[in-house]
Homo-oligomer: A and B are copies of this chain.
């Protein structure tokens, strides 16, 4: 056998990237989706060992983790890998990673950046028009053959002129605003602080924002501060003509209270891509035509996944080549969004 080309090290010499749980892209595209000639994957989920034992066995060989929303990178996990220097996540949100522990240990985090922002914003608009104009319900109506027997379909409500309040004016929130302005909506927002170069009215208080809008769009990050941020008071301020859309993270809303408001008609409707206990969805919502739901897929397009593939491989290859990461996360700053 000819000796191996030294510029192409054998598979066995490649550095490891740990994966705790297969990311959604593996489920869809197979586990060669992020393949590279610069690293190989170490799949904890394929080992029969308990995770802690597995990590201890590989403690001296893991410098990088590829993580996703469904696989938390906790402080306990991090502590088992003294050489860990990089966490790459396939999500825009970072709420599944213990960022304080990363900061403390000088571990760098790379996110999916803003590649999902446009798709998320498109989903927001689709869900909002759908709730207002009963699009999914109309599709069911026609497909069940009811048009010829039942005649006129109930009226919807116009999107133009609606006052839209955006909770979290980060990259997704800004894309939502840009789109909804083209429909003639007026935009206002809530955020941790007022944006310096933004002319939209700012509300420091979410309840006040809700009281002054017809549709509330949740685009903020899930953090300790935003957990159950949308509670009974906010929903009550939004009122019975108000619509809510959440494409951020389920636990930002008090889901029990949301369900009660929807069932009892205390708000007009909701467009929901995320839930508190995914993939479990409150059954009470199944029969409601004024609730439009999707299975946390606001970012699930072919185009986004191709962008993601390039970004993940690019970040990992950059790391192992001692080059700057493509989308490093500034750990001193809170993220604006979970995607």
Q: Which residues from chain A sit less than 8 Å from chain B, CB to CB?
A: 24, 27-28, 118-119, 122-123, 125-127, 129-130, 133, 135-136, 138-145, 147-148, 151-153, 155-161, 178-179, 181-184, 278-281, 283, 285-287, 292-295, 297, 300-305
Contact = CB atoms under 8 A, between A and B. Distances in A.
Q: Would you call the interface of chain A mostly helix, strand, loop, or mixed?
A: helix
A121 to B, nearest CB: 8
Q: How many copies does the complex hold?
A: 2
Given A155-B28, A158-B302, A126 B135 contact: yes
A119 B159 CA distance: 8
Contacts of A144: 286
Which of A27, A130, A294 has the most CB atoms of chain B within a 10 A radius of its CB? A294
Contacts of A143: 285-287, 293
A155 B301 contact: yes
B118 A294 contact: no
B279 A118 contact: no
A119 B302 contact: no
Nearest to A277: B148
B118 A160 contact: yes
A145 B286 CA distance: 8
A118 B184 CA distance: 9
A148 B302 CA distance: 22
Contacts of A135: 123, 126-127, 130, 135-136, 292, 294
A246 to B, nearest CB: 14
A303 B182 CA distance: 18
B182 A294 contact: no
Given A151-B279, A161-B303, A294 B129 contact: no
Contact of A136 (B136, B152, B153, B287): B136
Contacts of A280: 148
A39 B55 CA distance: 85
B142 A139 contact: no
A151 B160 CA distance: 36
Given A118-B183, A153-B297, 11 more contacts: A122-B183, A123-B129, A125-B183, A127-B135, A133-B301, A135-B292, A139-B294, A142-B293, A145-B286, A156-B302, A178-B182
